[in-house]
């Protein structure tokens, strides 16, 4: 079974600085997707970034980028120029991709990392 | 606006009183799913639906029921709620379950006394 581990329950960063959130996962699948979701105090789950495992190039979305190391099964999120609005809980999630199957479409989530951006 | 809506957003109830949490999406998505979020456990899948009239169990289905009679709606039913079902519940949808990004509703905070 797949598992996702976020080993940092809480982190903090000064405004305008860079922070990296860690995520490791365990799977025997070769084709899958990885996601980072943000959950601000409003509790809404917001997609931050998505990575397809077959792509070697790391995904980027404005100030957010990932370091995807497939062999190491690592998927860290880097937030550059941190802003107060980045304060939230961040979840790493895994979803396997199996063509033509009755795939459940299930997202497997890590435990979350609470990020505090300080002014 | 493309969105997933849930109602109610907050609910306090008592053990054994049947309740339904509604979920609706306006994006013509085929795939819908329910998750519950508990501290230290992240989100766990309760039930999912690949399309109308097709539903199946996720990781923690006990005590829950769902139905998918229309494409846009996917209600979560608790026939006899218990305190261990106190949680934050999220509905999510995507165009196709196994390839697409899932979009989440705003969440429903349920407390069972």
CB contact under 8 A, A44 and B59: no
Query: Which chain A residues touch B109 with a CB distance below 8 Å?
Result: 43
Task: Assign A43 a pLDDT band (cuts: 50, 70, 90).
Answer: confident
pLDDT in tens, A67-119: 999 999 999 999 999 999 999 999 999 988 766 555 567 789 999 999 999 99
Preferred mutation among A33, A107, A110 to probe B, highest tally of B CBs within 10 A: A107
List all residues 6 or more positions away from B12 whose beta carbon is below 8 Å from its beta carbon.
B111, B113
Task: Assign A62 a pLDDT band (cuts: 50, 70, 90).
Answer: very high
Preferred mutation among A105, A106, A109 to probe B, highest tally of B CBs within 10 A: A105
Secondary structure of residue B83 in the 3-state scheme:
helix
Using CA atoms, how far apart are residues A74 and B8, in angstroms rounded to an integer? 37
Average pLDDT (A38-53) is 92
Secondary structure of residue A84 in the 3-state scheme:
helix
List all residues 6 or more positions away from A64 whose beta carbon is below 8 Å from its beta carbon.
A36, A48, A49, A77, A78, A79, A80
Parts of chain B with a pLDDT under 50: none
Distance from CA of B29 to the nearest CA of A (A): 13
CB contact under 8 A, A91 and B43: yes
Q: What integer pLDDT is reported at residue A98 of this predicted model? A: 65
Beta strands (DSSP E) in A15-107 are 19-21, 24-26, 32-39, 46-52, 60-61, 64-69, 74-79, 88-96
Task: Assign A40 a pLDDT band (cuts: 50, 70, 90).
Answer: very high
Give, in order, the Cα–Cα distances in Å from B5 to each of A84, B1, B17, B79.
27, 11, 23, 22
A53-70: burial string, b at 16+ Cβ within 10 Å, e else: beeeeebeeeebbbebee
Higher pLDDT, A41 or B1: A41
Q: What integer pLDDT is reported at residue A99 of this predicted model? A: 61
Distance from CA of B103 to the nearest CA of A (A): 8
As a whole number of Å, the end-to-end CA separation of chain B is 36
Considering CB atoms only, which of A50, A102, A109 is closest to B101?
Answer: A50
Q: Are B7 and B109 in contact (CB under 8 A)?
A: no
Q: What integer pLDDT is reported at residue A96 of this predicted model? A: 82
Considering CB atoms only, which of B42, B94, B109 is closest to A109?
Answer: B42
């Amino acid at each position: 079974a797949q598992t996702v581990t976020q080993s940092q329950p809480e982190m903090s960063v000064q405004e305008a600085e860079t922070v990296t959130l860690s995520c490791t996962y365990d799977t025997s699948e070769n084709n899958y997707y990885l996601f980072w979701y943000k959950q601000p105090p409003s509790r809404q789950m917001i997609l931050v970034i998505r990575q397809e495992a077959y792509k070697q190039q790391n995904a980027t979305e404005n100030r957010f980028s990932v370091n995807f190391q497939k062999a190491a099964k690592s998927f860290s999120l880097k937030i550059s120029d941190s802003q107060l609005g980045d304060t939230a809980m961040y979840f790493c999630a895994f979803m396997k991709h199996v063509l033509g199957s009755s795939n459940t479409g299930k997202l497997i989530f890590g435990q979350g990392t609470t990020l505090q951006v300080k002014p | 606006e493309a969105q997933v809506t849930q109602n109610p957003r907050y609910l306090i109830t008592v053990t054994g009183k049947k309740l339904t949490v509604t979920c609706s999406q306006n994006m013509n998505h085929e795939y819908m799913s329910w998750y519950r979020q508990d501290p230290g456990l992240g989100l766990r899948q309760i039930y999912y639906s690949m399309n109308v009239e097709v539903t199946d169990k996720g990781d923690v289905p006990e005590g829950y029921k769902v139905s998918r009679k229309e494409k846009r709606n996917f209600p979560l039913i608790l026939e006899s709620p218990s305190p261990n079902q106190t949680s934050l519940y999220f509905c999510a949808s995507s165009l196709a379950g196994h390839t697409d990004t899932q979009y989440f509703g705003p969440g429903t905070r349920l407390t069972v006394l």
